[in-house]
Amino acid sequence: MPESSQKLRITEIFYSLQGESKTVGLPTVFIRLTGCPLRCQYCDTEYAFQGGEWWHFGKIINEVKKYNTPYLTLTGGEPLAQKASIALLKQLADLGYKVSLETSGALDIQAVDPRVMKVMDLKTPSSNEEGKNNYSNLNFITEYDQIKFVICNREDYNWAVSILEKHKLTEKCEVLFSPVNLDGSASIVKDLANWILTDQLAVRFQIQLHKMIWGNVPGV
């Protein structure tokens, strides 16, 4: 494999508690890649849009091995914006790690190793990036994966429910409804919980655990 395909631009690698998804609460190593083709209005990792440093796969793996956990998450930015991320995911799975990928769903997930748990964030209207959703990705979602919606208001909720029903998402995998995490957004947390219960949706309500503990700061 060419050397150029064995390196990635990395913003940070850190050890924390997983704040979302099926492995919430478990100690996890996060590999945050630099760059993203989307500009969601509620993005909480704008610092990863630019900068970063080039890391060869060997250096990444050596860093990951410093931590006593089998759980790894490749995140961003948008990890799949760097093509070499596909090869890294495979290498990490080959090493026996339990790997998850946090992706926007705007980029093709077909080539992602099936051992990797994909957490795909379908963009709601309030993200201002709804038009970037690549619905063909739903053909490559398995029961091992998860689909996430970030909900800002009732419009987002109604839209998410319509997508849920149109594509029969709960028959494909677990679905996450997550209230947006912004200053002044506390009311949406209770509203979303009540909407889910009123409509008896078969989805998982989730709040970002790491932000409850440490706030919205890098490296957690």
**pLDDT of 136-184, one tens digit each?**
999 999 999 999 999 999 999 999 999 999 999 999 999 999 999 755 5
- CA atoms of 23 and 212, how far apart (whole Å): 16
Per the structure, the count of domains in the chain is 1
Return the residue matching tokens 């100690």.
27
Q: Is residue 220 part of a domain?
A: no
Which candidate, 109, 110, 111, 112, places its Cα nearest to that of 121?
A: 109
- pLDDT band at 3; cut points 50, 70, 90: low
Indicate whether 185 pLDDT > 80: no
CATH value at residue 149:
3.20.20.70
State the residue range of the domain holding 21.
Answer: 3-214
Q: Is residue 80 part of a domain?
A: yes
Q: Is residue 219 part of a domain?
A: no
Q: Is 66 buried (19+), middle (13-18) or exposed (0-12) by CB count in 10 A? A: exposed
Phi, psi of 33 (to 5 degrees): -85, 155
Q: What is the mean pLDDT of residues 191-209?
A: 95
Give me the pLDDT at residue 181, please: 78
- CA atoms of 193 and 118, how far apart (whole Å): 24
Q: Is residue 55 part of a domain?
A: yes
Which candidate, 114, 29, 132, 126, places its Cα nearest to that of 78?
A: 132
Tell me the sheet residues that pair with 121: 148
pLDDT, tens only, 118-141? 999 999 999 999 999 999 999 999
- pLDDT band at 2; cut points 50, 70, 90: low
